[in-house]
Structure formats: C-alpha cells, structure tokens
Amino acid sequence: MKKITFLLAFLGWCAMLFAQNRLEDNKYIVSDSVMIKTKQGHILSATVVRRKDMTGPQPAALQFSIYANTAVSIREGKLAADHGYVGIVADTRGKRLSPEKIEPYENEQEDVYEVIDWIAKQSWSNGKVGMYNGSYLGFSQWAGLKHRVHPALKTIVPYVAAIPGLGLPMENNVFINANYGWAFYVTDNKYLDNKVYNDPKRWRSLNFKWFNSGAAYNKIDSVDGTPNPWLQRWLKHPDYDSYWQSMVPYQKDFAHINIPVLTFEGYYDDGQVSGMHYYLEHLKYNPKANHYLIIGPYDHFGTQSGGVPVLRDYKVDSVALIKTKEITFQWFDYIMKGGKMPEILKDKVNYEVMGANKWMHAPSVSKMADRRLKLYLTNSRIGNNYRLSPMKPLKKGSLKETVDLADRNTSYGDYYPFPIIKDSLNRSNGFFFISKPFDKPVQVNGMFSGELKAIINKKDMDVTVVLYEVTPEGKYFELSYFLGRASYAKDMSKRVLLHSGKIESIPFNRTRMVSRQLSKGSRLLVVLNVDKNPFAQVNYGTGKDVSKETVADAGKPLKIQWCNDSFVSVPVRIVEGGFKL
C-alpha cells in the first residue's frame, strides 16, 4: 500500500512539473536556430528569446559566446526576457550551427559589430542593445569595440573580461599552464569537449611530467601526447605584438569608446590583470569615459554570480555578497529605459573593504588611497626576515640568491593565493621582508607596484613579488602578487635583455587590485623570488626564445644580487588619525 501511495505521489509530482514547464514554455517565443549572415559573408548562429506578453519593439540584451550550449543559451535568453529584454546569445564563428572554422579570439572584432547590426534591423528591436557577461564573453564585448562602436550599442557590462596575451595564455609575457586544456575544450567540436577539459588529473600530471622532463615549453603537447595547435600558434608571439593587439582595443583605440561601461571584477579573479587593464586603459586614453567599477572578494566564477560565503577558506564579509546579473539588468534599465541607477553605484569605483564588512566608493582607483607607502627591501635582518623599511638604506648593499635552473627537486615562486589565509609559508627559498606593526588600523586599497634593482649573471629571469598581511595572530593573509618577465618590464611589446653583471631596474605595476582593512598590530610582508616551477615556462636566461629553451640551456646556476634600494609602493588609506610604521 505504501509503495502504491508513493508511486501515485511521484506521478502527481511529475505531472505538476510537466504542467509547470508547459506553462513556462508558453510564456516565451524561443528561436534556437537563428542564422546570421554577415556583410563579409560569414555565417553565425544565435538563440533569440522573447516574452509573448511583450508587445512592440524592445531593447536587446546580447551575449556573444564561444561556450556553445543550446540549453544554457535558452536559459540565459529567458532570464533576459523576464527582465524586459529580448534575450540573445550569439555563438562565435564556427561554433554550434556555424559551418566555419573555430578560431578563438580572432574574429570577434568584426563579428560582434555585425550581430549588433543584425539585431538593430529586426522588427522586435527598438534599436537599443546592451552586452553583458563574463570571461570570454567579457572579451567579446571589448573586441567588438576595437574599430568602432555600433550606434545601436548603448552599453557593455563585462565581468572578469579576458585579454588574450595579457592574462592568458601568458601573464606579463610569461606563458602559464593554468588553462592549457581550454583550447581543446572550445575547438574540439561545435559545442564543448567537457570530457577532455574536465580531467584535472591529466592536466595536473602534465605540469609535472613536462617540468621533470626538462623539455622545451613548445614541446609540452608532445609530453601530453596530443598536439595543441592553438598553443603552438600563441607561442609564436611571446611579445604583446600586433597579433594580440589586433584582438582588443589597444592604447588610442580606447579614445573613441564613449558609451557607458560597468565593469565587475574580483580581488581573487585569476585574470584580474586583464579586466583592470581594460578599465585603466579606457580612462587613460579617454579621461571623461563614463566607466563604473564594482569589485570585491570574488574569484573568476564568483564575480560572475556575486560571490560565495567562503572563498578559498576565507569567510567573506556578508555585505560583499551581491547579485551580479540583477545589478546588470538594473544598469540596463538605467541606460536604456531611463530607470534608476543601481544602488551600489555611489561613485565610479565601488569596492568592498575586506575585514571592515562595508562598501566604499571613490571617483578613481588612485583616490581609493590617501597615500602610498614606499617601502625598501633592505638587507637588514630582523629575526628570520629582512626589514621592509620606509627609510632608504644609507649604505648600498644586496642579498644574494643562487638558483639551479636544472634542478627539478625544488620549486621557486609560491605566489598563488590558495588558500587566501595561510598558517605558514614555504621558506625554503626566496627572501622575506617584513614591516613594523601598524599602530592603528589601516586599509590597503588599490594595486601595489615597485621597482626591483638586481645584478644577474644571465640575460633574463622571471620574478614573483607577493604582498601579505601578517595578522597579530601570526596568520598570512595574501593581498596581491606579481608575476612577470624581467626583459619585458618596461615594454610588454618589446623584449630588452638584461646585461650580465650590471645593475638592472625592473619596474612592475600589473598586480592584483585589493581592498583590505588591516587591524592594529598587523604588518606587511613582501616575498621576493624568481619563478621556476611546473606551472609556467622556465626561463633559463640565455636570451633565446624561452619556449625553445630546454634544461640543457640551464648552464651555470642563476646568481642574483637583489639590491637594497629595491622598493614596493603600497596604496593605503588611514582609517583613524595618523599612524607610524
């Protein structure tokens, strides 16, 4: 009897669910096989969703995606339709129903404009289009503005927007392995190769197999056993050259971008250097740009949703949890329907202060702080650290480091913030510089920068600089980090080799933006090191193309003298009164 009752209940639930789905489907007009022919003769596919109860022409909410998935496109289209827009997800050239080649990053500069042009001519369009969403979909928004802005495009809302060549597959000219399998994921078929991509064991073991083999970086796919033609294509461009520059706005290209922009970013977004690069370059070349920023304690995926309560073992402030897409549609209503500006946007830069559990607002990134602390990496020992001092050393000196680049038993460059708060740090190599305790609470707000002075016995090296808060309890809270190649320090588009035996200046500034309130008694810690590990290219310092260097090029150990007039510049805001350091 119980089994019969359960079966009847289950069947009733199924019938109710079916009826609900039927009722929901009757709300929408879904066209999931729309074909768009561009003026250049290319064929793209798209999904268009409209509410049946919406009469007359409507504004459109557009996503332009390489992550072809019909069910996801319909779901996203319905969400936009429920917010009063025609929801459109267009697929990158070659994806889903498009008969052409799949070429990541290379066609959006042309195709995004064409899709907007097509939308503006449809009977259901009122001639207003807004674009949104994140990562590759953030990239495609900026790519579509490379040459000109379509008159129908009224705003873009990029979340954690990628820049090919500046974030992945290389960061500050260092090729990294973090997304090695991505090219297979998006180009193996017309949709997505989930089976290959979602194989962390394969990709993690590949890092160590390649590293331990001593093979050149351009042979990493041979170590894997599967050719990676896209990686090989990218490796031909170690400079941030015209190949990469042609994909998104570059320098003066930003000057013509006058539509309103709302950027979402996260302090722990792995690709934050890309998203912030768009933001800073836009304002640099168009100082009057109507560009807003929302940033908080989120990672790459968390930014796109609005955060999670616990991020990499760090309990996120409750006020930091937001709803990214709800804010997006509020912004769309503000721009395209004359609605109210989202409540969170009280100034151009809107940031959550970790540890203070509050949002703060500033007219620019530089105005987040009221001073910058210039702190020198001295050779004066203090316990098991060296002194991080606001006073420049009176006597020139240095710290000496020797790195056997052929050795595979030791890794250098422990910079990735996972977890965000650590009980201890790996002190087997690198140099650690610590400040005196702050005598009052202070906020670190913005992006730290600096200049390293070094003498080396080779022609190049890759460096890492990590910034921590050391809490009064002795915990290490990672704030930000830098990874970059010394030979590109002054110009990412042109490699200038170092001179062996001479003092070289290595400036750096493309670090992660952060906001964190440090308590009284907290100290700053800077960890300086070279980068040699299984997760990125190994720069052997010969001056040759790093992708072609092998362990046989290691030669004699890398010897570095880190000069004591090297420094970091940390943006801070005084919370109460003054402070001493």
Which amino acid is it at 167? G
Tell the residue number behind the tokens 């991080």, with chain if given. 388
Q: Are 449 and 511 in contact (CB under 8 A)?
A: yes
Q: Please tell me the predicted confidence (pLDDT) of residue 258.
A: 98
Q: What is the pTM of this model?
A: 0.95
Interval 64-91: pLDDT, tens: 999 999 999 999 999 999 999 999 999 9
CA atoms within 13 A on the CB side of 500: 8
Listed by start position, the domains of the chain span: 2-164+247-362, 369-574
User: In Å, how far from its chain's centre is CA 158?
Assistant: 11
And the tokens for 106?
Answer: 């290379």
229 upstream amide cis, omega within 30 of 0: no
CA distance 398 to 147: 48
CA distance 284 to 314: 34
Domain 2-164+247-362: which CATH number of 3.40.50.1820, 3.40.50.300, 1.20.1290.10, 3.40.50.20? 3.40.50.1820
Q: Please tell me the predicted confidence (pLDDT) of residue 575.
A: 86
Q: Any residues with CB less than 8 A from the CB of 207 and at least 6 apart, and which?
A: 177, 534, 535
Q: Are 564 and 396 in contact (CB under 8 A)?
A: yes
Low-confidence residues of the chain: pLDDT under 50: 2, 16-23
Q: Reduced to 3 states, what is the DSSP secondary structure of residue 4?
A: helix
Two domains, one topology: 2-164+247-362 and 369-574: no
Q: Is the dihedral of CA 319, 274, 210, 415 positive or negative?
A: negative
Interval 11-24: pLDDT, tens: 555 554 444 444 46
And the tokens for 153?
Answer: 């495009």
Q: Please tell me the predicted confidence (pLDDT) of residue 576.
A: 75
Fold of 369-574: Jelly Rolls (2.60.120)
Q: Please tell me the predicted confidence (pLDDT) of residue 4.
A: 56
